[in-house]
Structure 1
């Protein structure tokens, strides 16, 4: 386990935001990050980098608040415990599951082109912005892959994906030095959207043709594919009374493992 020394820095960071007429809603959880390569390492100054993982988590949780609370209540009732006793890590919404699946698709898509791989924080931030509270995992995947790009601000040749808890930080700053990164994102998210549509619609007899099905398993990874689309495959089998050839032991969608999961059953 790695540790990165840091100091609380809410007051100083709040002053920076206020001086730029920016909101400072999450300043209390801001941390000043140490950097041994900096000439200011031995003195706390405004030149230190800042981070706010707790503030980001609270923002992210707020984007799925309604669905999050529904899941939390369901878990409390299932285990017959007080809702306050349900730990955060037990709660997996459709947004969290969708992000996990998109990250896996990203990993496979960029496996031979790692320098252009879309960062996890960009995926999580754009997905959280695009999420509308849908409980269905497949519908959430469709909505996210369709709408995530609309939350990228472009002014002239400059891209902006603002850190929601640090408005002076731009997650897309590297894109502004290398347009190929922005192009790589657009190409990847377009393909992910089309792949999901094809799977849901059963294009190319995907549920019957093992070779075609394996092509999509290769794109998403076996576990993510089964978790995301196992229910659709099962419905197909029930409707047509035939086996799709899907790998035995398909995992229920609600069992997607950490770090991200979901709360739907269709």
Structure 2
């Protein structure tokens, strides 16, 4: 017997939004009282534009036949950073799903805070530093507007349930502290860093990632392509000082 796939699909009735053609829509709320503004197609376009701030991605497309590399096959640094934030939030709130920040809220704040960093760790940590600055206060109401439709507020539940905002801030602070801890642990070796990461992320996925990282670092060190990124992590995408090749003979 085939096992059911672990996901579901929500279907909501919508109508065109005459005030925001051609992609704006109005969708019904759970109380069946008011039509809510939205623009998912416009949002996707905006997010893709934010991803294009990644200079590495732009260069890759510049030297490739765009028709041969569909967008869905190219993951930008921003996309990967958002995946990390959502992955951690999913695990952090595993036993408290009512207070888990909505995916669209994390994605929007991260994308607004992204300034084109190519190194994944640097981008993720920088996004964490800047994202709360994009939470607006409109007449006493917390507001994170949909970039494709200013009338849609992704933080609307914070005004109705203040404890959800407090949970978001607690998660944000704990993740920022954890990322800083990773920087210091790197100097104690990859096994120590992997062990600590496994405590906050899925252990199997972390171990597989570190195995691939160790293999790649060996090649990069031999070829002299390894650099020191902002914050102290080793990377091939940063413009920091190059790590000397190791000749293994003193």
Fold in common (TM above 0.5): yes
Task: Decide which structure has greater helix share.
Answer: 1
Q: Compute the TM-score of the two structures, normalised by the length of structure 2.
A: 0.71
SS at match of 1:148: helix
Q: Which runs of 5+ in 2 are unaligned?
A: 1-7, 222-235, 239-250
Aligned counterparts of 1:229 and 1:155: Cα–Cα separation in 2: 48
How big is the alpha-carbon RMSD for the aligned residues of Structure 1 and Structure 2? 3.5
Residue 144 in structure 1 maps to residue 127 in structure 2:
yes
What secondary structure does 1:146 align onto? Answer: helix
Residues in 2 aligned to 1:195 and 1:35: alpha-carbon distance in whole angstroms: 37
Distance 1:194 1:36 in 2: 37
**Take 2:190 and 2:35, find their aligned partners in 1: how far apart are those partners?**
54
Q: Is the 8 A contact 1:160 1:170 kept in 2?
A: yes
The answer for the alignment partner of 1:24 in structure 2 is none
8 Å contact kept, 1:110–1:116: yes
Matched, 1:9 2:3: no
Tell me how far apart the structure 2 counterparts of residues 183 and 142 of structure 1 sit (CA, whole Å): 20
Contact 1:98 1:141 in 2 (8 A): yes
- Report what 1:60 is aligned to: 47
Q: Quick one: structure 1 residues 197 and 231, their matched pair in 2 at CA, closer, same or farther if it must change by over 3 Å?
A: farther
CA contact (8 A) 1:33 1:51 kept: yes
CA distance in 2, matches of 1:225, 1:147: 30
The size of the alignment, in residue pairs, is 215
Deviation per CA, 1:219-259, whole angstroms, max 9, x where unpaired? 122326864997599769x99xxxxxxxxxxxxxxxxxxxx
Structure 1 position 216 matched with structure 2 position 197:
yes
Q: State the shift of 1:130 in Å.
A: 0.3
- The residue that corresponds to 2:109 in the other structure is 126
Give the match for residue 96 of structure 1: 79
Cα 1:50/1:88, change in 2 over 3 Å = same
Secondary structure of 1:132's counterpart equals coil
Task: Kindly indicate whether structure 1 or structure 2 has the higher relative contact order, using CA contacts under 8 Å at least 6 residues apart.
Answer: 1
Are the aligned partners of 1:94 and 1:135 in contact in 2 as well (CA < 8 Å)? yes
Match of 1:74 in 2: 60
Residue segments in structure 1 that go unaligned for 5+ positions in a row: 15-26, 40-46, 240-263
2:146 to 159, 163, 181: 163
Question: Partner of 1:174 in structure 2?
Answer: 157
Cα contact 1:207–1:233 (8 A) shared by 2: no
* Length-normalised TM-score, structure 1: 0.67
